[in-house]
């Protein structure tokens, strides 16, 4: 009788070398912020991958922020945790027919340049333009889209702690393989990142926080903020 080969014996923990799930290092990033480098997903152009930069490469950061992040590394990932928390809170709260004013988030993927955060891509030919890029020649149509997003941030009680002009993008999202209508989307800066999270107390406190953020955004963009109507207009 022929002898069966013995089954391999697993002795101790499985020895496996790290293999990233996605390779990005050969790609040219499409954008970068002060904290993250942005790549288009190599196999799905409707998605972006956002990878946290090494501390040494972070620009436009206050010296104090860099110092504290270096000594308290959890502060660097706090943003991501707050952002995800807010996305989750919104999705569990809005109706299926509501259009979120912020980008959908699709989890994380381990890449060869670091942990990647998968987010939907707001496109307009290439990457959509930001409010920062268009603010000096903002069309009436885009102003209306921007105001519609502002109204939904209030209506859905979105905690948005960093409403800068670079974080609003004009373009199209993908809806089940179809290009959606043109809209303005807050792609970053949501989540209550303040040391004392006043905005998280309730929607009323959050609305006061949004009022303050809109006032500051108006000063930065040259737009006029009507605090009563909670709408922007051209100066």
Ligand X SMILES: Nc1ncnc2c1ncn2[C@@H]1O[C@H](COP(=O)(O)OP(=O)(O)OP(=O)(O)O)[C@@H](O)[C@H]1O
- Interface residue list for ligand X (CB under 6 A): 31-36, 38, 48, 50, 103, 119-122, 127-128, 130, 164, 166-167, 169, 187-189
Residue 33 or 128: the one with the smaller Cβ distance to Mg ion is: 33
Q: Is 183 a binder of Mg ion (CB under 5 A)?
A: no
Q: Is 116 a binder of Mg ion (CB under 5 A)?
A: no
User: How many of the other CB atoms lie within 10 Å of CB of 206?
Assistant: 20
Q: Is 83 a binder of Mg ion (CB under 5 A)?
A: no
Burial per residue of 139-170, b for 16 or more beta-carbon CB atoms within 10 angstroms, e otherwise? eeebbebbbebbebbbebbbbbbbbbbbbbbb
Helix residue ranges per DSSP H, the chain: 63-71, 74-93, 131-134, 140-155, 203-221
Report, in Å, the least distance between residue 31 CB and ligand X: 3
Residue 33 or 100: the one with the smaller Cβ distance to Mg ion is: 33
Q: Which residue is nearest to Mg ion (CB)?
A: 188
Report, in Å, the least distance between residue 173 CB and ligand X: 9
Distances (CA, A) of 234 to 145, 148, 220, 226: 13, 15, 13, 11
Residue 48's nearest CA partner among 162, 163, 173 is 173
The residue assigned the tokens 């945790």 is: 81
Report, in Å, the least distance between residue 36 CB and Mg ion: 8
Site track for Mg ion across 24-63, x = CB under 5 A: ---------x------------------------------
Q: Catalog residues that contact Mg ion under the rule CB under 5 A.
A: 33, 167, 188
């Amino acid at each position: 009788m022929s002898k069966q080969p013995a089954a391999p014996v697993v002795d101790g923990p499985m020895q496996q070398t790290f293999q990233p799930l996605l390779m990005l290092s050969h790609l040219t990033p499409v954008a970068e912020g002060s904290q993250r480098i942005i790549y288009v997903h190599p196999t799905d152009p409707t998605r972006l991958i956002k990878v946290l930069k090494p501390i040494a490469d972070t620009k436009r950061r206050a010296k104090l922020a860099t110092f504290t992040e270096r000594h308290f590394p959890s502060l660097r990932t706090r943003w991501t945790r707050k952002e995800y928390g807010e996305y989750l809170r919104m999705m569990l709260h809005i109706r299926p027919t509501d259009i979120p004013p912020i980008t959908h988030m699709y989890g994380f993927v381990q890449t060869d340049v670091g942990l990647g955060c998968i987010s939907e891509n707001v496109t307009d030919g290439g990457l959509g333009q930001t409010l920062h890029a268009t603010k000096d020649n903002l069309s009436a149509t885009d102003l209306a889209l921007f105001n519609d997003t502002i109204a939904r941030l209030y209506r859905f009680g979105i905690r948005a702690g960093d409403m800068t002009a670079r974080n609003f993008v004009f373009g199209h999202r993908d809806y089940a393989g179809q290009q959606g209508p043109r809209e303005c989307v807050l792609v970053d800066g949501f989540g209550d990142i303040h040391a004392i999270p006043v905005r998280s107390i309730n929607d009323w406190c959050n609305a006061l926080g949004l009022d303050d953020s809109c006032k500051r955004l108006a000063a930065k963009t040259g737009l006029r903020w009507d605090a009563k109507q909670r709408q922007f207009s051209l100066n």
